[in-house]
Structure 1
């Protein structure tokens, strides 16, 4: 978890175990990788329609749902033409019992 300290108060993207993508500012985290995002949004991609951003504000993601967390550059993100990006839903990363 100490490696997340470098991302505090930085813009991050989080991919969850159910294939969802969240963007926001990392405000905090704990030893179980629970993360707190401010200015959070969920970005959803679809196979046959443009992406949608759902503004969430302050948002907590449970650590057992975090698959990947990393920084992103806001200027670079704003220059991406998402009107040309389409995608199927990511498959779950959870193993069936």
Structure 2
């Protein structure tokens, strides 16, 4: 058996956290597809546990509410009674985030 190097303990503890966040994000994406159908809102990408939407000018607030609710529901499906916090940022460009 070869010796363990580097931050093995960090990876050991961090992997379940990152894996669960990835699962929550995927569940939220699936639910968002259904909730955003026929709204004109597009899912344009994900970065780690972030979901990036593009909305018509008239819908950013409404899309933000839907995104927040959906992500909380997805988190609660995995985490049960553990509080789920979601931060939504609305901006014209990614640079404004």
TM-score (structure 1 length as normaliser)? 0.25
Q: Larger relative contact order (C-alpha < 8 A, sep ≥ 6)?
A: 1
Structure that is richer in helix per residue: 2
TM-score (structure 2 length as normaliser)? 0.25
Larger Rg: 2
Structure that is richer in strand per residue: 1
